[in-house]
Chain A
Amino acid sequence: MIVEVSSVSKRFGPRLAVDDLSLKVPPGVCFGLLGPNGAGKTTTLRMIYGVTRPSSGTIRVFGIDIARDPRTVRSRLGVTLQQNVLIEALSPEENLRVFGRYHLLREPELSRRIGELIAFLELSSHATVPVKHLSGGFQRRLAIALSMMNRPELLILDEPTTGLDPAVRLALWSRIRELQAGGTTVLLTTHYMDEAQRLCDHVAIISGGKVIDEGKPSDLIVNHLARETVEFDCAPEEESAMLNGVSFPSHRLRVGRRLMIYLDDATLLINHIRHYDQGDRRALVVRPTNLEDVFLALTGTSLEGGQ
């Protein structure tokens, strides 16, 4: 195992941020921690790279106890923090140089590695412009480049694409997949279900500091809900009258006025609702069930809304 978290808890004063959490990240996978803000994702990552001490439990990375030898562990992994920690007055190239020295890289290896990363993350157009003049997407790419300076075997990404526009997200996803194809193990946190679904081989859903379920994204969906989702607005009072006489198996979830019904084949339900609505047709959304729905079913709260 690349990462092995065994019954780890972390208490901050009276608050239990991580509650008896266990995880195993095998080599070569892209592993996602999916959960809302405040679920304990960042704390879990910080404990894995050794800057937060667990209150109880043990963590081994590359088979090494992180509490025993954090230097060795951190020399073999890279971390992109949630918040970019770039030196704003320096250019991307100079940032990479400073960061490379933290890993004790020396010339000519240092310059060679900087060149590789500038090419890999497409930073060359602004490689010598001070970071403070660069766009958010460019800065994020640089932050990821920094965390790859030491050719990490394990890359930890804390919300890699939060706040980025769709084009930049797509570009970053393809970089992460390339890395993974090259043998790097990736451990990321996200509260975007599409990100988890498209990138991750394995997802652990975290809520209240606990893993509430984990597995392949597609398995998680079929284990908890049916394949298709019909989604529409409907007042709670109206619900039972409207669905009266629906006999096929279905699972319902409600968020405010929004009702979601999960079933294997949506056709019958759509016909039923159309019939009920008569001429006054309401807007129906029919879509594949996703991890967001699984999260909702498991916790009763939505991912983006947080706790």
Chain B
Amino acid sequence: MNISPSHAFSVWRRNAVLYRRTWMWNILPNFFEPVFYLLSIGIGVGAYITQMGGMSYMEFLAPGLVCVAAMNGASFEVTYNFFVRLSYQKAYDAMLTTPIEPDDVLVGEVLWAITRACIYGGCFFAVIALVGLAPLPSALWVFPVILLAGLLFAAIGIAFSLRISNIDLFSFYFTLFLTPLFLFSDVFFPLHERLSEGWLWVAEVLPLLHPVRLARAAFRGEASLILLWDLAYILAVTMLLLVWARRGIRKRLMN
């Protein structure tokens, strides 16, 4: 390992400087998304589905959607934006003429993706809390979950981005990976009520499932042993992918 925290922070800061210039336009859409969900479910779907998992459908959806927001916030950053910095803007080639090392770039970018996940997920949570769908204060536990979801999807996205040479491949990442996760990770319906025992085991590989379960526990204010498994899954998968990404970024930047 060759990480210098201050250099990694300067990588983070580069992105923050650019983001801050347009923060109004960047943050605003994050508030619209939850509002549209509330309208759609409140006016439409909610009229047909009155109960799910022992609560109103909107209450059931809220914690999962916060995780989806965090996942999207991190994913956009480490896919398209990261790839543009890497391949088109050559931002990292510039950094590597200074004392910054590839490991610092990786850490800085992961931290920045987590930051975006927190902004995105945080905005979503704020709207949901405002309309009374987040039981306070226990629902505040969702913040560490947003952070973990950001970390996990930063690691997954960055590992993917470092292995592809063509920006068009991200459409596969979004439609064949993130969209199915969004639909089948306990967000819209309780998996354990619909899947047989065997399939439930298989579902455990889905990365989004784990932050969603943690978030749901936070909203309910109930802890259980399975949450330790969720936490372990997130940390282990993140570590593995970051080790892999570390080799990838060296290969891409130092040839």
Q: Which of B10, B95, B99 contacts A75 (CB 8 A)?
A: B99
Q: What residues of chain B lie closer than 8 Å to A74, measured between beta carbons? A: 97-99
Contact call A102/B100, Cβ cutoff below 8 A: yes
Contact call B97/A52, Cβ cutoff below 8 A: no
- Complex: how many Å from CA A49 to CA B97? 7
Q: What residues of chain A lie closer than 8 Å to B255, measured between beta carbons? A: 12, 52
Q: Report if B109 contacts A (CB, 8 A).
A: no
- Complex: how many Å from CA A75 to CA B100? 9
Q: Report if B138 contacts A (CB, 8 A).
A: no
**Contact A85 to B96, CB < 8 A, known contacts A98-B13, A102-B10:** no
Q: B63 → chain A, closest Cβ, in Å?
A: 36
**Contact A81 to B97, CB < 8 A, known contacts A52-B255, A89-B18, A104-B7:** yes
Q: Report if A28 contacts B (CB, 8 A).
A: no
**Contact A87 to B18, CB < 8 A, known contacts A51-B253, A98-B13, A101-B13:** yes
* 0/1 string, B1-44, CB within 8 A of A gives 1: 00010110011011001100100000000000000000000000
Q: Which of B6, B91, B96 contacts A104 (CB 8 A)?
A: B6
- Complex: how many Å from CA A102 to CA B12? 10
Q: What residues of chain B lie closer than 8 Å to A87, measured between beta carbons? A: 14, 18, 89, 91
**Count of B residues near A, CB < 8 Å?**
25
Q: Is the interface of B mostly helix, strand, loop or mixed?
A: helix
- Complex: how many Å from CA A74 to CA B10? 16
Q: Which of A53, A83, A99 contacts B98 (CB 8 A)?
A: A99
Contact call A101/B10, Cβ cutoff below 8 A: yes
Q: What residues of chain B lie closer than 8 Å to A51, measured between beta carbons? A: 93, 96-97, 253-254
Q: Report if A272 contacts B (CB, 8 A).
A: no
Interface residues of A in 52-108 (CB under 8 A from B): 52-53, 70-72, 74-75, 78-79, 81, 83, 85, 87-90, 94, 97-99, 101-104
Contact call B97/A79, Cβ cutoff below 8 A: yes
**Contact A98 to B17, CB < 8 A, known contacts A85-B91, A87-B91:** yes
Contact call A90/B18, Cβ cutoff below 8 A: yes
- Complex: how many Å from CA A124 to CA B96? 27
Q: Report if B192 contacts A (CB, 8 A).
A: no
Interface residues of B in 65-112 (CB under 8 A from A): 89-91, 93-101
- Complex: how many Å from CA A99 to CA B100? 11
Chain B's closest residue to A72 (CB) is B99
Contact call B21/A89, Cβ cutoff below 8 A: yes
Q: Report if A185 contacts B (CB, 8 A).
A: no
Chain B's closest residue to A130 (CB) is B21
- Complex: how many Å from CA A81 to CA B100? 16
Q: B105 → chain A, closest Cβ, in Å?
A: 11
Q: Which of A70, A81, A97, A102 contacts B93 (CB 8 A)?
A: A81
Q: What residues of chain B lie closer than 8 Å to A78, measured between beta carbons? A: 97
- Complex: how many Å from CA A99 to CA B93? 12
* 0/1 string, B240-255, CB within 8 A of A gives 1: 0000000000000111
Q: B101 → chain A, closest Cβ, in Å?
A: 7
Q: What residues of chain A lie closer than 8 Å to B97, measured between beta carbons? A: 49, 51, 74, 78-79, 81, 147
Q: Report if A184 contacts B (CB, 8 A).
A: no
- Complex: how many Å from CA A55 to CA B13? 35
Interface residues of B in 176-231 (CB under 8 A from A): none
Q: B213 → chain A, closest Cβ, in Å?
A: 39
Q: What residues of chain A lie closer than 8 Å to B96, measured between beta carbons? A: 51
Chain A's closest residue to B9 (CB) is A101
- Complex: how many Å from CA A276 to CA B90? 58
Q: Which of A71, A90, A99 contacts B4 (CB 8 A)?
A: A71
- Complex: how many Å from CA A150 to CA B4? 18
Q: A94 → chain B, closest Cβ, in Å?
A: 7
Chain A's closest residue to B90 (CB) is A85
- Complex: how many Å from CA A49 to CA B96? 9
- Complex: how many Å from CA A104 to CA B99? 9
- Complex: how many Å from CA A90 to CA B91? 13
Interface residues of A in 124-161 (CB under 8 A from B): 146-147, 150
Interface residues of A in 20-53 (CB under 8 A from B): 49, 51-53
- Complex: how many Å from CA A101 to CA B101? 14
What would 5 A/B residue contacts be, using CB atoms closer than 8 Å?
A51-B97, A71-B99, A83-B90, A102-B7, A102-B11
Given A71-B101, A87-B89, A97-B17, 8 more pairs with CB closer than 8 A: A71-B99, A74-B99, A78-B97, A85-B93, A101-B13, A102-B95, A103-B98, A104-B99
- The 5 A-B residue pairs whose C-beta atoms are closest, nearest first, are A79-B97, A85-B94, A102-B98, A71-B99, A101-B10
